[in-house]
């Protein structure tokens, strides 16, 4: 049984932007080998920042308001103070002021994805308070690394991982070669359903059956 926790995912994605391509592929390949096969599609959706139609809300004024109000709810900061600190690159300072951190179990990959999906799902104005409350609960259960990634993703400060990089990492993880991953995508058409391609890579390697 592979890992289902979100902490390893957050640690890798938080440092991915400062790595060269080879190091990034190596880090992601190690992550893919560690994660439970049942969580792979959800992991890829997180890496690609794919929340379906709800992705349109990421980085908008409304999402910045929701996130900053949630951050204010877990610290002693006011909403505008929290947003200002995040926008100036001081998110870790904000997270260090959390009044309570519930780390009994930490977040699972599914919990993190569903929590972010709920926060950015497009709906009426009356749902804003619910979204803030829901996101506040998610951030309070998250470790610093997990919360850092969640906030940066919702605020639009995190970049999606490139599909070709993902495929290279899958090839490295399950077939010992980054080139194998690119070969399996079947040209540009393979990128249209990267989830099917990724799951097939894992199945071909015998990972899905072994659990």
Instruction: Walk along the chain (211 residues) and give the pLDDT tens digit of each residue.
Output: 357 889 999 999 999 988 888 999 999 999 998 988 888 999 999 999 999 888 888 989 989 999 999 999 888 889 898 888 988 889 998 988 886 655 555 799 999 999 999 888 766 555 888 889 999 989 988 988 999 999 999 998 899 999 889 988 988 888 765 555 556 555 544 556 788 878 777 777 665 444 4
The superfamily (CATH) of domain 53-154 is DNA ligase, ATP-dependent, N-terminal domain (1.10.3260.10)
Alpha carbon distances (Å) from 128 to 125, 134, 148:
6, 10, 21
Rounded to the nearest angstrom, the gap between the alpha carbon of residue 203 and the centroid of all alpha carbons in its chain is: 23
Alpha-carbon distance of 90 to 67, in angstroms, equals 14
Alpha-carbon distance of 97 to 7, in angstroms, equals 20
Alpha-carbon distance of 28 to 12, in angstroms, equals 7
CB-CB contact of 169 with 25 (8 Å): yes
Which of helix, strand or coil describes residue 35? strand
CB-CB contact of 7 with 111 (8 Å): no
Alpha-carbon distance of 207 to 128, in angstroms, equals 41
Alpha-carbon distance of 110 to 115, in angstroms, equals 8
Give CATH 1.10.3260.10 domain extents, the chain: 53-154
Q: What is the pLDDT of residue 182?
A: 56
């Amino acid at each position: 049984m592979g890992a289902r926790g979100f902490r390893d995912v957050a640690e890798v994605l938080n440092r991915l932007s400062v790595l060269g391509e080879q190091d990034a592929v190596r880090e992601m390949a190690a992550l893919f080998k560690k994660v439970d096969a049942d969580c792979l599609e959800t992991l890829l959706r997180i890496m690609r920042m794919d929340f379906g139609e709800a992705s349109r809300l990421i980085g908008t004024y409304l999402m910045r308001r929701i996130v900053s109000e949630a951050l204010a709810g877990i610290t002693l900061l006011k909403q505008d103070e929290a947003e200002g600190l995040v926008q100036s690159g001081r998110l870790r300072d904000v997270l260090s002021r959390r009044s309570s951190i519930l780390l009994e179990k930490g977040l699972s990959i599914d919990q993190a994805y569903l929590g972010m999906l709920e926060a950015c799902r497009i709906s009426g104005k009356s749902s804003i308070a619910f979204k803030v409350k829901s996101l506040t609960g998610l951030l309070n259960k998250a470790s610093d690394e997990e919360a850092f990634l969640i906030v940066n993703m919702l605020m639009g400060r995190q970049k999606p991982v490139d599909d070709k990089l993902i495929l290279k990492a899958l090839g490295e993880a399950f077939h010992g070669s980054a080139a194998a991953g690119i070969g399996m995508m079947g040209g540009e058409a393979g990128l249209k359903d990267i989830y099917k391609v990724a799951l097939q890579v894992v199945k071909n390697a015998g990972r899905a059956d072994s659990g």
